[in-house]
Amino acid sequence: MDFQDTPELADFRQQVRTWLDANATRRTDNGHIGMEGEQANHEAKDWYKKKAEAGFACLTWPKEYGGAGLTSLHEVVWTQEVENFKTRDAQFIIGIGNCGPAILHFANEEAKRELLPRMASAEDVWCQLFSEPNAGSDVAGLRTRAELDGDNWKINGQKIWTSGAQYSDYGVVLTRTDPTISKYRGLTLFMIDMRQSGVEVRPIKQMDGGQHFNEVFFHDAIVPDSFRLGEIGGGWNGALTILMSERLAISGIQPTGFPQFLDLVTTLELNGKPIAEDPIVRDRLAAWYSQWAGLQSTNKRMLTAVAKGGIAGAEASLGKLVGAVMNQEIANFVCQILGPAGVIQDDTISPAHAHFQQTVLFSPGVRLAGGTDEVMRNIIAEQVLGLPQEPRADKGMAFQDIPTSSG
Ligand SMILES: Cc1cc2nc3c(=O)[nH]c(=O)nc-3n(C[C@H](O)[C@H](O)[C@H](O)COP(=O)(O)OP(=O)(O)OC[C@H]3O[C@@H](n4cnc5c(N)ncnc54)[C@H](O)[C@@H]3O)c2cc1C
């Protein structure tokens, strides 16, 4: 496709640049912007509110739900421009990027008008409650139950790895409403008020020192039927909408670590010589440049699909798979070439504000979140290469008859 802006998009790009110049700080380096904690959340809330007031929040959502009623290409322009600034655009990506599209699609009109504008301006923060201790890649194997009780549903069970649950006002929760039919057909999706007494959130401490995700326990938590997303038993459809949005959202912001690596090797010296002269570094630089350039082309292919009115497909899985692995490998390599300095994670003295040290500790999680490497490979094998589907031993069985390790 032609990657020149149309006159309308060029005009929009100019508006975005002018507004960002007046309201955000330009990036002067490729350093890491911390993603966690109350302080980060306050900053992000202020930022989202400002964006919403200026009409730049949730660009593709309809105006009546707090969006700007624009196209995916406007969203692309925003993403390209905002990359040059230090903002907290990605802070509430799970709510806005994942839960938002499912609510737009499946919630009733009253809920959409009430909840979406507050989500778009981050007045309310949302989380996604899918994974359980025994249901991650195979999320349809989940066991959290929802039972109808008058006009309400009662939820009991446990979720895990729920990002941002400790700050969330609402969540989207996938539950089992009928164990007597196949695992995919017995699921129902709900919105849930996270501030009620039946919801207990326990943060999990990570090896990088942060507390990004949580265990969440439901003890007779109450959800009104008006908070149901889609049909009873239709939860898998809603879940797929969320999972696809998640992969797209992740692939759009998937860090590769390459720009930071390039910056580093053009400025760092080793034994009195520029490190870029070292043959091993040059070899790695060439290999990662090729991967990075391949990802740029794949991204452009996605943009072409979007520009033609389609949706991005399995390319999103490719971007996630290659980018997440590369991000981890680059960080490990840099910490090795830094020698003893590689173990110092202090953003005031470590190169690139300790971006690489921080990445060594968090990047394994990025390879799991939103689908592991193996799950991405399965998607690419089946949906891009047309290889046969994975065999499913539980095909056609009622969920309650699927054998478990406890018998
Ligand atoms: C940073 C982070 C944030 C997260 N945030 C959220 C969140 O907000 N909400 C939420 O619901 N979940 C969240 N998750 C959970 C995430 O979705 C799961 O970790 C992921 O789906 C993998 O599930 P699991 O951890 O149970 O691993 P498992 O599914 O138990 O996998 C274990 C291993 O088996 C492999 N494996 C599994 N199935 C197959 C297969 N069919 N073929 C080949 N290999 C296979 C996997 O690749 C992996 O190596 C988050 C995870 C992380 C790391």
- The pLDDT of residue 245 is 76
Residue nearest to atom 35 of ligand 1 (CA): 374
Q: Is 359 in the pocket of ligand 1 (CB under 6 A)?
A: no
* Residue ID of nearest Cα to ligand 1 atom 37: 137
pTM: 0.92
What does the mean pLDDT of the chain come to?
Answer: 90
Question: For 107-234, where are the alpha helices, taking DSSP H only?
Answer: 109-120
Backbone torsions φ then ψ of 152, nearest 5 degrees: -115, 165
CA proximity to 27, closest of 72, 68, 83, 65: 83
- Quick one: what percent of the chain has pLDDT higher than 70? 93
Structure confidence at residue 252 (pLDDT) = 60
Q: Would you say the CB of residue 161 lies under 6 angstroms from ligand 1?
A: yes
- The predicted model gives 349-374 an average pLDDT of 91
Separation of 139 CA from ligand 1 center, angstroms? 9
Integer Cα distance of 40 and 167 in angstroms: 11
Atom of ligand 1 nearest to the CA of 378: 42
Characterize 346-367 residue by residue with b for buried, 16 or more Cβ atoms within 10 angstroms of its Cβ, and e for exposed: eeeebbbbbbbbbbbebbebbb
Q: What is the pLDDT of residues 47-92, one digit of tens each?
A: 999 999 999 999 999 999 999 999 888 988 998 899 889 899 888 9
Ligand 1 pocket check for 381: Cβ under 6 Å: no
pLDDT at 218: 98
Contact, 349 vs 279, CB < 8 A?
no
Q: How confident is the model at residue 323 (pLDDT cuts 50, 70, 90)?
A: very high
Taking the CA of residue 137 as reference, the ligand 1 atom at the shortest distance is: 29
CATH code reported for the domain at 126-233: 2.40.110.10
User: In this structure, which residue's CA is closest to atom 31 in ligand 1?
Assistant: 137
Please report the pLDDT score of residue 250 as a whole number. Answer: 64
CB of 288 shorter than 6 A to ligand 1: no
Cβ–ligand 1 contact at 162 (below 6 Å): yes
Name the closest-CA residue to atom 16, ligand 1.
Answer: 369
What is d(CA 253, CA 69) in angstroms, rounded to the nearest whole number?
A: 22
Atom number in ligand 1 closest to CA 370? 17
- Listed in sequence order, the residues at least 6 apart from 317 whose beta carbon sits closer than 8 Å to its beta carbon are 247, 251, 371, 376, 379, 380, 383
- State the average pLDDT over residues 108-119: 97
Q: How confident is the model at residue 109 (pLDDT cuts 50, 70, 90)?
A: very high
| Residue 318 pLDDT class (50, 70, 90 cuts) | confident
Q: Which of 125-134, 298-307, 372-381 has the lowest mean pLDDT?
A: 298-307
In this predicted structure, what is the pLDDT of residue 34?
55
Rounded to the nearest whole angstrom, what is the distance from the C-alpha of residue 317 to the centroid of ligand 1? 14
**pLDDT (0 to 100) of residue 246:** 76
Top mutation candidate among 36, 128, 132, 137 for ligand 1, by most atoms within 8 Å of CB:
137
pLDDT band at 305 (very low <50, low <70, confident <90, very high): confident
Domain boundary assignment for the chain: 9-91, 126-233, 254-384
Task: Identify which of 127, 170, 368, 404 to mutate to test ligand 1's pocket (most ligand atoms within 8 A of the CB).
Answer: 368
Pocket test of ligand 1: the residue of 211, 372, 380, 382 to mutate, having most ligand atoms within 8 Å of its CB, is 372
* pLDDT greater than 80 at residue 302: no
**Ligand 1: which residue has its CA nearest to atom 52?**
369
So what's the pLDDT on residue 253?
Answer: 65
Pick 20 or 302 by higher pLDDT: 20
Please report the pLDDT score of residue 13 as a whole number.
96
Task: Please give the single-letter amino acid code of residue 218.
Answer: F
**Minimum CA distance residue for ligand 1 atom 48:** 372
First to last CA, the chain: 56
Structure tokens at 64: 């009546």
pLDDT digits (tens, 9 = 90+) for 219-244: 999 999 999 999 999 999 999 988 87
Does the C-beta of 211 come closer than 6 Å to ligand 1? no
Please report which confidence band the pLDDT of residue 407 belongs to, taking 50, 70 and 90 as the band edges: low
> 369: Cβ below 6 Å to ligand 1?
yes
> In this predicted model, which residue has the larger pLDDT, 248 or 33?
248
Distance CA 199, CA 221 (A): 6
Q: Please report which confidence band the pLDDT of residue 406 belongs to, taking 50, 70 and 90 as the band edges.
A: low
Backbone angles phi, psi at 338, to 5 degrees: -75, -10
pLDDT for the residue numbered 121: 96
Distance 29 CA to ligand 1 centre (A): 33
Pick the CATH number of 254-384 from 1.20.140.10, 3.40.309.10, 3.40.50.720, 1.10.3720.10: 1.20.140.10
Atom from ligand 1 closest to the CA of residue 163 = 8
Residue 388, pLDDT score = 95
138-194 pLDDT, tens digit per residue, is 999 999 999 999 999 999 999 999 999 999 999 999 999 999 999 999 999 999 999
Q: Which long-range contacts (CB under 8 A, 24 or more apart) does 392-397 make?
A: 394/183, 396/182, 397/182, 397/183
Contact 192, 165 (CB under 8 A): no
Q: Is the CB of 29 under 6 A from ligand 1?
A: no
Share of the chain above pLDDT 90, in %: 66
Specify the residue for token string 């265990």.
Answer: 215
- Give residue 367 CA to ligand 1 midpoint distance, Å: 9
- Over residues 178-212, the pLDDT tens digits come to 999 999 999 999 999 999 999 999 999 988 888 88
